[in-house]
């Protein structure tokens, strides 16, 4: 009588051969059922919502959506074993956070050890560290796009097309080309990931793309408004005005 499946796994890799290797390694583990295979990050986000796996084998280097983008979109509840070609910085982050990774080409011994630890995580319902994605990105590498999930739909906004960001409780509203997209993230964490030479925190609730600022106007006694090129008016605090002025002076 076959062993009852206790783990539903998702295999995510843009290389068919890499997925094939994982499939073969899992054959000796009847307790692990392959819920779905995904050839890219978009498919992975959709499959997580639809299949509800409790373990993911996740490739780090994929086009369009990287493994870290996927991790950011799916949250921290599902244990992940990262599969990567050589990426020293990412591997250091994995080790610091005690998260498992497999180096390609994946060997059986290392695979077995990682799977054993992953089973413990599944059994303990242990969350992935929320700061892992940020820690695994190379230092001083600012975002070049923002990824947003709405159900199974994923939107990518290049930061060059971002007009401004507005804080809304635990969310941020990202304004781009007249449309607003909600993302569950604090404005402080997004600010830290944006290039400060291009994006300025002008108010506790607003970050603006400096290139969109047409002019600054006085508003009341001690406050000002930033008027954007599309006519949008945003409040500027005293500290925000100092940051804007500093950036203006830097650009001469």
Does residue 153 fall inside a structural domain? yes
**87 and 118 share one domain:** yes
**11 and 132 share one domain:** yes
The pLDDT, as a whole number, for residue 160 is: 96
* Structural tokens at position 224: 């000002």
pLDDT for 128-175, tens place per residue?
887 787 777 776 678 899 999 988 889 999 999 999 999 998 899 999
**Last residue within a domain, chosen from 81, 109, 136:** 136
**58 and 86 share one domain:** yes
Say how many C-beta atoms besides its own lie within 10 A of residue 162's C-beta. Answer: 24
**121 and 182 share one domain:** no
3-state secondary structure of 112: helix
Does residue 48 fall inside a structural domain? yes
Does residue 24 fall inside a structural domain? yes
**127 and 66 share one domain:** yes
- pLDDT band, very low/low/confident/very high, at 5 (cuts 50, 70, 90): low
Does residue 233 fall inside a structural domain? yes
**151 and 118 share one domain:** no
* CATH code, domain with 154: 2.40.50.1020
**157 and 128 share one domain:** no
Please tell me the distance from the alpha carbon of residue 61 to that of residue 149, in angstroms, as a whole number. 20
Say how many C-beta atoms besides its own lie within 10 A of residue 128's C-beta. Answer: 19
Does residue 163 fall inside a structural domain? yes
* Structural tokens at position 50: 């639809």
**Last residue within a domain, chosen from 107, 136, 165:** 136
pLDDT for 83-117, tens place per residue?
998 778 788 888 877 788 999 999 999 999 999 99
**158 and 85 share one domain:** no
**150 and 41 share one domain:** no
* CATH code, domain with 129: 3.40.50.2300
pLDDT for 104-113, tens place per residue?
999 999 999 9
Please tell me the distance from the alpha carbon of residue 244 to that of residue 135, in angstroms, as a whole number. 29
Residue 4 has pLDDT above 80, yes or no: no
**153 and 204 share one domain:** yes
**83 and 39 share one domain:** yes
**220 and 189 share one domain:** yes
Instruction: Count the domains in the chain.
Output: 2
Q: How far is CA 163 from CA 60, 88, 145, 149, 250, in A?
A: 29, 34, 13, 19, 21
The pLDDT, as a whole number, for residue 126 is: 83
What domain range includes position 229? 145-250
pLDDT for 140-151, tens place per residue?
678 899 999 988
Nearest alpha-carbon partner for 213 in 197, 192, 199: 199
Please tell me the distance from the alpha carbon of residue 239 to that of residue 31, in angstroms, as a whole number. 57
Does residue 1 fall inside a structural domain? no
**Last residue within a domain, chosen from 136, 169, 185:** 136
Does residue 19 fall inside a structural domain? yes
Please tell me the distance from the alpha carbon of residue 95 to that of residue 101, in angstroms, as a whole number. 9
């Amino acid at each position: 009588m076959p062993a009852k499946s206790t783990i539903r796994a998702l295999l995510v890799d843009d290389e068919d051969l890499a997925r094939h290797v994982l499939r073969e390694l899992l054959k000796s583990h009847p307790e692990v059922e392959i819920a779905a295979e995904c050839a890219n990050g978009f498919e992975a986000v959709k499959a997580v919502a639809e299949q509800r796996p409790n373990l993911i084998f996740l490739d780090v280097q994929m086009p369009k959506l990287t493994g870290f983008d996927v991790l950011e979109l799916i949250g921290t509840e599902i244990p992940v074993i990262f599969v990567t070609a050589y990426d020293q910085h990412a591997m250091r982050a994995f080790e610091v956070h005690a998260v498992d990774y497999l180096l390609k080409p994946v060997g059986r011994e290392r695979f077995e050890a990682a799977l054993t630890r992953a089973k413990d995580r599944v059994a303990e319902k242990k969350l992935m560290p929320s700061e892992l994605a940020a820690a695994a990105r190379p230092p001083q590498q600012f975002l070049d796009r923002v990824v947003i999930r709405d159900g199974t739909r994923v939107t990518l906004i290049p930061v060059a097309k971002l007009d401004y960001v507005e804080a809304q409780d635990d969310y941020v509203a990202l304004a781009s080309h007249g449309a607003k997209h909600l993302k569950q993230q604090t404005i402080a964490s997004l600010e830290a990931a944006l290039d400060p030479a291009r994006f300025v925190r002008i108010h506790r609730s607003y970050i603006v793309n400096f290139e969109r600022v047409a002019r600054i106007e006085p508003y009341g006694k001690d406050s000002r408004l930033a008027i954007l090129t599309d006519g949008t008016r945003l409040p500027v605090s005293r500290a925000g005005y100092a940051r804007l002025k500093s950036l203006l002076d830097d650009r001469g």
